[in-house]
């Protein structure tokens, strides 16, 4: 989340964060007979309805050797159904002024429908056809698979993409987070249409789904829609997904030789899950370290004071399962070693000293004042509702959120830094012109040619 600089610097002046009042709960929650969770936020005023349907399965469910199956299945949902060809479906949506988008991540797949209220029934009928009756035509299957393979191959020229792929593969060996959501050319080639059909039949079930509505619709109308168009959607057992925790790595550097004008560098290690008890302390810690743009320590020191980087940031990907902590930067080939050294020194210093009260107050102000912006539009609410449910946060979460941030102390943020930042075992991946970079390897180092790239 970012703000314009003028707004951001204005927030820095707010040392005691205000806690805005947000009406609670955000919507109404119902568990339907088929196991689906229904969330409805009635927001009349604009004659439009936004619906988000979240399937609680993504690329983590891809079988070994079939990476990209979840994504390919989702991409093919709109490429032909029992009642509509791909072209006919697109034309029908256009005629209604509606849009239907499908997206896959590691842990979820999301279908998003936007329509005028007057066309809700017709649009929902199309959604039902896509969700319940896709035919996955062989011709469309082959076309989409080749399209994804070509896109993956074209990304190999992007050094940032190359760096991130190598980073995740090394950090998460034998784990889904180390694979591309889209798969790779070889695993895609191994996928059959029968695999896609089976994946859809297994995971696209109501007891594996969260359905959220926001806009000009009542709870009763939403229930009626689902009973009308999803009456043939039946629950089934969902296979459990069990993965061992990623192994902790010693400090290691991977250098990838590529003729680029600037080096792309990633440093990091395993992070935390969203359910971690210290999540909010980590959130604020990361903002102060490198997630807060021009107010962060990494940006202030490595870019503004030393002029070593073009950009630098840090992030924790807190999913249901622990995602990575990553510091990313771009610098001249010749200054890659110095930039990495400065980052390591700053992280060590942050772990030792923790944040200042001023830094913590600025971070709190940002998150508390920024959160209501996520509730401005019906689209925002329809997107947030299933996430709240997926992470079991409760529909009063927007009302509780300011207090959750405000109550974090400087001591808790410092403790989070000491617990979840490990500067002595940061994995380093550097894509650079090695003839210019003059890199000094850490204790454990491997040189590899730059090949394929980033998971998303």
Q: What is the pLDDT of residues 71-123, one digit of tens each?
A: 999 999 999 999 999 999 999 999 999 999 999 999 999 999 999 999 999 99
137: which 2 tokens? 């035509």
Name residue 453's beta-bridge partners. Answer: none
What's the pLDDT band for 242 if we cut at 50, 70, 90?
A: confident
Whether 36 contacts 159, CB under 8 Å: no
Q: Please, what are the domains in the chain?
A: 28-229 (3.30.830.10), 246-449 (3.30.830.10)
The burial of 375, by beta-carbon neighbours within 10 Å (0-12 exposed, 13-18 middle, 19 or more buried), is given as middle
Whether 454 contacts 165, CB under 8 Å: yes
Whether 425 contacts 251, CB under 8 Å: yes
**Residues 219-236, mean pLDDT to the nearest whole number:** 96
Nearest to 329 by CA among 341, 319, 318, 321: 341
**Residues 425-443, mean pLDDT to the nearest whole number:** 81
Q: Residue 181 and residue 264: Cα distance in Å, rounded?
A: 22
Q: Buried b vs exposed e over 98-121: b needs ≥16 C-beta within 10 Å?
A: bebebebbbbbbbbbbbbbbebbe
Instruction: Quote the pLDDT of residue 9.
Output: 32
144: which 2 tokens? 């989409």
**Residues 17-42, mean pLDDT to the nearest whole number:** 80
Residue with tokens 């001591």: 411
Instruction: Quote the pLDDT of residue 15.
Output: 39
Instruction: Give the least confident one: 32-41, 366-375, 404-413.
Output: 366-375
């Amino acid at each position: 989340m970012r703000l314009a600089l003028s707004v951001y610097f204005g927030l820095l002046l707010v040392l005691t964060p205000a806690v805005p009042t947000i009406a609670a709960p955000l919507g109404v929650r119902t568990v339907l007979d088929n196991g689906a969770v229904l969330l409805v936020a009635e927001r009349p005023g604009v004659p439009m309805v936004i619906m988000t349907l979240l399937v609680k399965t993504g690329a983590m469910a891809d079988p070994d050797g079939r990476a990209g199956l979840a994504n390919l299945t989702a991409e093919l949902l709109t490429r032909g159904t029992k009642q509509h060809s791909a072209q006919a479906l697109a034309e029908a949506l256009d005629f209604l002024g509606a849009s239907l988008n499908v997206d896959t991540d590691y842990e979820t797949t999301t279908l998003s429908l936007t329509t005028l209220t007057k066309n809700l029934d017709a649009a929902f009928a199309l959604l039902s056809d896509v969700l319940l009756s896709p035919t996955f035509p062989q011709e469309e299957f082959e076309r989409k698979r080749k399209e994804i393979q070509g896109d993956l191959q074209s990304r190999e020229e992007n050094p940032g993409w190359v760096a991130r792929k190598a980073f995740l593969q090394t950090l998460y060996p034998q784990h889904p987070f180390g694979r591309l959501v889209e798969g790779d050319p070889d695993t895609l080639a191994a996928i059959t249409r029968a695999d896609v059909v089976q994946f859809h039949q297994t995971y696209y079930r109501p007891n594996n789904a969260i359905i959220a509505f926001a806009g000009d619709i009542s709870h009763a109308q939403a229930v009626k829609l689902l009973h009308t168009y999803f009456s043939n959607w039946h629950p089934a057992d969902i296979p459990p997904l069990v993965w061992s925790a990623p192994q902790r790595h010693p400090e290691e550097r991977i250098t990838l030789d590529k003729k680029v004008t600037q080096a792309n560098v990633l440093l990091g290690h395993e992070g935390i899950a969203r359910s971690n008890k210290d999540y909010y302390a980590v959130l604020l810690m990361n903002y102060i370290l490198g997630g807060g743009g021009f107010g962060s320590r990494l940006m202030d020191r490595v870019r503004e004071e030393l002029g070593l980087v073009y950009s630098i940031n840090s992030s924790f990907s807190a999913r249901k399962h622990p995602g990575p902590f990553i510091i990313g930067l771009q610098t001249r080939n010749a200054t890659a070693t110095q930039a990495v050294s400065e980052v390591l020194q700053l992280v060590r210093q942050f772990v030792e000293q923790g944040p200042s009260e001023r830094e913590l107050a600025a971070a709190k102000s940002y998150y508390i004042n920024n959160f209501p912006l996520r509730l401005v539009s019906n689209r925002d609410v329809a997107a947030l509702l299933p996430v709240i449910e997926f992470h079991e946060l409760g529909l009063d979460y927007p009302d509780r959120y300011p207090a959750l941030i405000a109550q974090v102390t400087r001591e808790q943020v410092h403790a989070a830094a000491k617990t979840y930042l490990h500067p002595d075992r940061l994995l380093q991946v550097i894509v650079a012109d090695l003839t210019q970079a003059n890199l000094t390897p850490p204790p454990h180092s491997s040189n590899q040619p730059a090949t394929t790239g980033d998971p998303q």
